[in-house]
Amino acid sequence: MKVLAPGATIGILGGGQLGRMLVLAAQAMGYRTAVLDPDVHAPAGAAANRQVCAPLHDLDAVAELARQVQCITFEFENIPLDIAHAAARHGAVYPHPDILSIAQHRVREKSFLADRGYPVTPFRAVHTAAAARQAFGQLGGAAILKTAMAGYDGKGQVAVSAVEAIAPAWELLATPEAVLEKRVDLAGEFSLIVARRADGQTAVHGPFGNYHRNHILSATVWPAALPEAMGLQAQAIAHALARDLELVGLLCIEFFVTHAGALLINELAPRPHNSGHLTIEAHETSQFAQHIRALCGLPLGATTARRPAAAMANLLGELWSEGEPDWTHALADAGVSLHLYDKHKPAHGRKMGHLTVLDTHPARALRRVLRARQRLTGARCGSVR
């Protein structure tokens, strides 16, 4: 297995906060970085050694980036596939574009998992409103209609509780291809992050218990409150999926848990994940450093925890709606760590930063990080939901 030694340059497609934290992890290990993003103020571009300012669909810009680097990765899975394959013609791209193709398309993702026996929510691939109505009857109850492409943070999906709601939902999504998923009796959500090198060495972070508000991750706690057997089952799935995909780099697996105790895979994300941000403080090797190790062929780092528990709270743009947040009061708890992403303009729902707390108990860690977020503005935005 080829090792990319420190001093080499890593290219990153996408310049958001995930790219920024990858840049910082790479630079701490002695690597140089180059970012492709159209925004001159991109958070990752501001931290990187260099930035190619161009749209992510610009083939010439991809070639320019590739000439400057020894390998390429990406910070989100909606990179145009032709761009990922074009980058691969110039050099190594990790994770491989074939994995990107699966993860960015809900029908391909669900089919890949179901065909290999992984547990997924019952679903049907549909191309018309009429097919969606038929699938609704087959699934036998309330469902969620989701676009096949470009859905994240609750975008591109509509809940439907009756067959009469299918036609307006289809019209609203305005998509040529979709997946209809049966709604499950959801008890909770959690995630695991698996890293794999080309030689098959794997390591897992998690499980992380996740709490959403308006479909956007609000807070994460580690470890998730799961039965031991379920946690072991999820880890076995993570190792198997990394092997089946021939993964090099990171893969986040989002899980549903039903009230009946069933474990179901919701989504795959072949990149660093919001739920893993707390690993920067909480674990010996963060998810970002682990990704750099994996794609550079270095031995994977320990995922040993530094404390028995940790929690993370996202900071969204609405926290700035009445002016600058009160950082002094938020950091009154000396154990709170603050991460801001150098985004110039707050917007509703935009991820601007996060807070992390380490503790000896998960529930107390979660309470402390939520109190710290609450102190930014008072009662507003203080809960997980």
Any domain includes 166:
yes
Residue with tokens 């992390």: 356
Q: Where are the alpha helices (DSSP H) in the chain?
A: 17-28, 43-47, 59-68, 81-90, 97-103, 106-115, 129-139, 166-173, 228-244, 279-282, 287-296, 327-330, 362-377
pLDDT higher than threshold 50 for residue 381: no
Residues 200 and 315 in one domain: yes
Domain that holds residue 55: 9-93
CATH number at residue 166: 3.30.1490.20
- Give the predicted TM-score (pTM) of the model: 0.94
CATH number at residue 49: 3.40.50.20
Residues 167 and 293 in one domain: no
Residues 261 and 192 in one domain: yes
Any domain includes 255:
yes
Any domain includes 23:
yes
> Can you give the pLDDT at residue 278?
98
- How many whole angstroms separate alpha carbon 277 and alpha carbon 266? 20
Residues 52 and 141 in one domain: no
Q: Label residue 385 by pLDDT band (50, 70, 90).
A: low
Q: Which of 93, 113, 143 is a domain's end point? A: 93
Residues 251 and 361 in one domain: yes
Residues 29 and 169 in one domain: no
Task: Give the rounded percent of residues in the chain with a pLDDT score beyond 90.
Answer: 87
- How many whole angstroms separate alpha carbon 322 and alpha carbon 301? 42
Stretch 292-319: mean pLDDT, rounded? 97
Residues 347 and 256 in one domain: yes
Residues 154 and 141 in one domain: yes
Q: Which of 139, 159, 182 is a domain's end point? A: 182
The string of pLDDT tens digits covering residues 187-209 is 999 999 999 999 999 999 999 99
C-alpha count within 13 angstroms, C-beta hemisphere, residue 64: 16
Do you know the residue count of the chain?
A: 385
| Burial (0-12, 13-18, 19+ Cβ within 10 Å), 165 | middle
Q: How many domains does the chain have?
A: 3
DSSP label of 234: H
Residues 151 and 208 in one domain: no
Stretch 231-244: mean pLDDT, rounded? 98
Residues 196 and 328 in one domain: yes
- Residue 85: count of CB within 10 angstroms of its CB: 16
∠ Cα 207 212 213 (to 5°): 165
Any domain includes 232:
yes
Residues 247 and 274 in one domain: yes
Any domain includes 199:
yes
Any domain includes 3:
no
Which segment of 28-32, 152-156, 230-234, 352-356 scores lowest on mean pLDDT? Answer: 152-156
Residues 357 and 229 in one domain: yes
Any domain includes 147:
yes
pLDDT higher than threshold 80 for residue 264: yes
> Can you give the pLDDT at residue 207?
97
CATH number at residue 229: 3.30.470.20
